[in-house]
Amino acid sequence: MNMDSIDLFDPDIQENWFPAYKTLLEEAPVYRIPGSTTFVITKYEDILTIVSDPKTFSNEPEKYGGEPLIVHPEARQYYIDHGLGKETGRTRWPLLGMDPPDHGKYRKLIDRHLMDRQVLRRTQPFIEETITELIDEFEASGSIEFVKEFAIPLPVKIITAMIGFPLEDIPQLKIWSTTWTLPFARGLSLAQEMEVARQGVDFQNYIRDIANERRKRPKDDVITHLVQAKFDEKRPLTDHEIASIVDNMYIGGNETTTFTLTSGMWLMLKDPSIYQALKKDKSKIQNFTNEVLRLESPTQGLYRTAVIDTEIRGTPIPKGSTIHIRFGAANRDEEVFSCPEKLDLNRANCSRHLAFSRGEHGCPGSSLARMELNIAYEHLIKRLSGLQLTPKQNDFTHHPGFILRGLKELYLSFEPRSGKV
Ligand code: HEM
């Protein structure tokens, strides 16, 4: 592919990013999207530098003249007038969209929960139980559409229960979650942004109501932990802060894990030698999970804003420019990963990928996600014999979009076995 044919908003390129990444990595590692002030960064070392330097590369675009996530003033105003941010004049209190030192003070509250070994140890049996129940449901049938029957419900159930939302609210939570992510793709119409704002406000109010309930009747869940927590060890969190931490956690953990689960089954079964190797030696599953995250990173890229006039690899970057960091490309950077296109179960540095990013904003759910993925692959391989991609039913197309990558559907077949039906 040559530079002239690169249009990152072209659906054909989005379906298979990798030829475009190869060209960008080789010919234009700091690539300005024509007609914009956005620079796309693809080299591994450059992205590592950017995410490790929040003083130069901020997560608060508006402060430095960059483009806010919600662009249309009417949609912003609706969010402010009807949501929980009236007093602060903010739409969604941003965890992703915040810089140090305050960002770290919020992260401490999340990390204490999501990255705590004991919390994770306590969560493991619930993950195993949920996986067992999901497989029980379809084990006897001999075939499934994997996304709908496994990859969506698993992470949703885990994070819904951990946060403390009632499981019966999952259908509505799924709608809020999907709508929340839309602005990251950029270029929404006013009508679309108004819908994002309306759904966002409903979600905030729903979280506030549950927080009020937990103040009266505490439980062992994230919302209770947050209503009891102190920001900077000094004051309780406001409802707006709680709602924003919770929505970031809820959304962060859903589609990303769904997409990785699905890509993993696809990569495992399209090359039967990988499936056989994992069946023979389950200790390779952790490497497999890392290779899936590296090759099919569900978050292909995210944003930062240049705080000052700076440069990357000699290219001047004016203050206020949008920096688009492309994790999916960095994870195929030949300077870091040899034969980057190959899924290698013995790759020595397979955990160095940037699928979870690094630095201040590096994913706090990475240990939980890895646990879900490793246990899921292990149980699926153990319980479903003769797994294969169902012939003639799969077209292997991905959801269109600039940021997230995931298969729309994946039909799998296996030997039917009488399960708990
Ligand atoms: C395979 C699964 C996952 C992937 C690939 C993933 C990836 C990422 C990435 C790339 C970021 C952005 C970091 C940055 O801007 O530098 C992020 C942030 C975040 N993730 Fe995840 N994530 C996953 C699962 C989860 C789970 C399970 C949770 C929660 C239970 C979660 C919660 C979050 C939160 C709250 C943030 C914002 C952190 C901040 O800005 O400080 N993620 N994740």
Nearest to 279 by CA among 394, 170, 187, 383: 383
The 10 Å Cβ neighbour count of residue 328 is: 23
pLDDT, tens digit (0-9, with 9 covering 90-100), for 326-373:
999 999 999 999 999 999 999 999 999 999 999 999 999 999 999 999
Q: How many CA atoms lie within 13 A of 79 on its CB side?
A: 26
Single-letter residue type at 398: H
At 269, list the tokens.
Answer: 């079964």
Pocket lining for ligand 1, CB < 6 angstroms: 51, 95-96, 107, 114, 159, 248-249, 252-253, 256-257, 260, 298-299, 302, 327, 355-357, 361-365, 368-369
Residues 138, 132: contact at Cβ < 8 Å?
Answer: no
3-state helix, strand, coil in the chain (%, to 5): 55, 10, 35
SS3 state of residue 75? helix
Q: Which atom of ligand 1 is nearest to the CA of 159?
A: 30
The CATH topology of domain 3-413 is Cytochrome p450 (1.10.630)
Q: Which atom of ligand 1 is nearest to the CA of 373?
A: 1
Residues 60, 97: contact at Cβ < 8 Å?
Answer: yes
CA of residue 162 relative to chain centroid, distance: 17
The pLDDT of residue 87 is above 80: no
The pLDDT of residue 94 is above 80: no
Instruction: For residue 2, name the pLDDT band (cuts at 50, 70, 90).
Output: confident
Round the average pLDDT of the chain to a whole number and report it.
93
Q: Which atom of ligand 1 is nearest to the CA of 155?
A: 27
Three-state SS string over 295-360 comes to HCCCECCEEEEECCCEEECCEEECCCCEEEECHHHHCCCCCCCCCCCCCCCCCCCHHHCCCCCCHH
Nearest to 208 by CA among 184, 237, 181, 180: 237
CA of residue 47 relative to chain centroid, distance: 17
Cα 254 to ligand 1 centroid, rounded to whole Å? 10
pTM: 0.93
| Cα distances (angstroms) measured from residue 69 to each of 20, 104, 228, 238, 390 | 26, 21, 30, 22, 40
Residues 92 and 79: their CA atoms lie apart, in Å, by 8
Cα 417 to ligand 1 centroid, rounded to whole Å? 36
CA of residue 9 relative to chain centroid, distance: 20
Tell me the H-state helices in 4-43: 11-15, 18-27
Residue 87 vs residue 253, higher pLDDT: 253
Residues 268 and 377: their CA atoms lie apart, in Å, by 10
Cα 365 to ligand 1 centroid, rounded to whole Å? 6
Which residue minimizes the CA distance to atom 21 of ligand 1? 363
Residues 348, 339: contact at Cβ < 8 Å?
Answer: no
The pLDDT of residue 421 is above 60: no
| Cα distances (angstroms) measured from residue 40 to each of 3, 29, 46, 271 | 13, 8, 11, 32
Cα 87 to ligand 1 centroid, rounded to whole Å? 28
Give the pLDDT of residue 183. Answer: 84
Bond into 236 cis (ω within 30):
no
How far apart, in Å, do the first and last CA atoms of the chain sit? 51
Tell me the H-state helices in 184-254: 190-216, 222-228, 239-252
Q: Which atom of ligand 1 is nearest to the CA of 327?
A: 10
Cα 259 to ligand 1 centroid, rounded to whole Å? 13
pLDDT, tens digit (0-9, with 9 covering 90-100), for 279-307:
999 999 999 999 999 999 999 999 999 99
